[in-house]
Amino acid sequence: MPEVGAAYARVRALLPPLWRALPWRVLGAAGGSATALPALARLVSGGHDTAFALILLRSAEVALALGLAFLLDDPARHITVAVPTRRVLRNGLRLALVVPLVLLCWTVALLLVPGEIRPPAGDVGLEAAALAALALTGAAAAVRFTDEPQPGAVVAATLLAVTVLETLLPERCTLFVDVADPGWAAAHQRWAVLLLLTVPMGAALLPERIRRRRALAWTHR
């Protein structure tokens, strides 16, 4: 199995530089905010209310998504674009390194909210997953269709603007509804559709464009 061994060696060689290149300051700030905000449900006097807990958890969702918008930033992009390892592998490894940490932060955020006021974990988890997928898809689109090495700030600002504008939508279309709202279940069906549409779109955007691949292959001849 020489091909498997070569692939394993390539991945092992890529991991240390990828780990160092990750935007840890932004990711750390996002993770710290996402875990600190739900803790307010335990600290704020009179804050033991499901609606308040939902606001805190949604703030944590947005914080994590904004951090993930920077995941594909690569200051050395114009150098690494010429390496033989395909972008889909490099970006896939970035996801593999960071997603478990994001899941850990989200789990801690949920557990910090007292059980008696915690909103349905599956539903708010669906919201967090959809926002994360939206952020990653935006980052993948920015990397694929522009030459900007660090598009994270623009992607994060766009995501934040879309999130704010979404709250202005009519009630029958909105995603952010209160737990006591009769439209809670319908809203989370929309969240599920958003997630199902965004994940394959993001996966399709991870590789280089075919034209660029051919150009790179030609330069290596």
pLDDT digits (tens, 9 = 90+) for 7-31: 667 777 788 888 888 999 999 999 9
| pLDDT at 85 exceeding the cut of 90 | no
86 three-class SS: coil
Tokens of 43: 């600290």
| pLDDT at 86 exceeding the cut of 70 | yes
pLDDT value, residue 215: 42
Q: How many domains does the chain have?
A: 1
Per-residue confidence at 212, pLDDT binned at 50, 70, 90? very low
- Amino acid type, 213: R
pLDDT value, residue 2: 58
Mean pLDDT on 60-89: 80
Tokens of 67: 């951090």
d(CA 62, CA 109): 12
Q: Which residue has the higher pLDDT, 191 or 45?
A: 191
Look over the chain and give the mean of its residue pLDDT values, rounded to a whole number: 85
pLDDT value, residue 151: 93
Residue 11 has φ and ψ, to the nearest 5°, of -65, -45
Compute the Cα dihedral for 128, 131, 134, 140 and give only its sign.
negative
Residue 181 has φ and ψ, to the nearest 5°, of -70, 135
Helices (H), 22-86: 24-43, 50-68, 77-80
pLDDT value, residue 42: 81
Find the distance separating the first CA and the last CA of the chain, reported in whole Å.
27
pLDDT value, residue 170: 83
Question: What range does the domain containing 164 cover?
Answer: 2-219
Per-residue confidence at 220, pLDDT binned at 50, 70, 90? very low
Instruction: Say if residues 109 and 57 touch (Cβ distance below 8 Å).
Output: yes
d(CA 137, CA 95): 12
Q: At what angle do helices 87-112 and 2-21 cross, to 10 degrees?
A: 60
